Amino acid sequence: MNDTPAKILEVRNVSTSYTRKSPLGKVKIQHVLHDVSFDLYEGEALGLVGESGSGKTTLARAILGFLPKYEGTIRHFSERPQVVFQDPYTALNPAKTVEWILGEPLRMLGIQDAQARRQKILDMLIKVGLDESYLSRKPSQLSGGQRQRISIAAALIMEPRFIVADEPVSALDVTIQAQILELLARMKEEFGLSYLFISHDMNVVYQLCDRVIVMRKGVVVEEGDIDQIFDAPRHPYTRELVEASK
């Protein structure tokens, strides 16, 4: 009997670069990603960690289909993932109400009945810790934590199996961070989600993730279970990140 979880995402030998031309006309190739490979499995939260400029966001853009040119292969074994961004204020339409923001994905799914949409919206608001009173509010009338809850609700209402969370708590204070991480963990269990959780903060990753990939300058320098990475990091850069988190 095979107990291995189903594969959600397969990334193989992904590389990308861009060229820069100096004022003297000299062309230099800047590698952003170099031969990146990993798998993500059903029900798993995989952390992608590295400092700014390590290639995390470029890799996420490739996975989400926002980066059209790269070498290698990216295979999805579910529908295209949903995404939760770092800044919920810029991710949400400031001119629209919460009801519209959550209802528009349902219209895209073909749910035209207004009463059915409203019930699904109310059910999702409750799941993310909000209530009916938020329906008529716009993003400017919400706190940072409330906005991120709406962003998570907007992703979940599409019923995905896979979510890319790109620094989803880095813009929040520590108390609100803990609440959003608890919500993400609860939603993972309730919906059987897989996460690619992108962060520069090892402490945040430790609270949510099962496994970690460490990137530096576009290269995967280490990969392992969360406890192994924290207790016995092998690569010097990983050790730096772990030490900095203590």
pLDDT in tens, 111-162: 888 899 999 999 999 999 999 999 999 999 999 999 999 999 999 999 999 9
Q: How far apart, in whole angstroms, are the C-alpha atoms of residue 241 and residue 197?
A: 16
Q: How far apart, in whole angstroms, are the C-alpha atoms of residue 218 and residue 221?
A: 9
Domain ranges in the chain are 1-81+161-246, 85-159
In the block, tokens 């979510």 appear at 163
Q: Model's pTM, two decimal places?
A: 0.90
* Length in residues, the chain: 246
Closest CA to 16 of 51, 60, 47: 60
Residue 114: exposure state from Cβ atoms within 10 A (0-12, 13-18, ≥19): exposed
Kindly state the tokens that stand for 174: 């520590």
Give CA torsion, residues 108, 128, 63, 89, to 10 deg.
80
- List Cα–Cα distances, 194 to 79, 83, 125, 190, in angstroms: 12, 12, 21, 11
Question: Considering the chain, what is the average pLDDT of its residues?
Answer: 92
pLDDT band at 2 (very low <50, low <70, confident <90, very high): low
- The tens digit of pLDDT for each residue in 165-195 reads 999 998 888 899 999 999 999 999 999 999 9
- Classify domain 1-81+161-246 by CATH number: 3.40.50.300
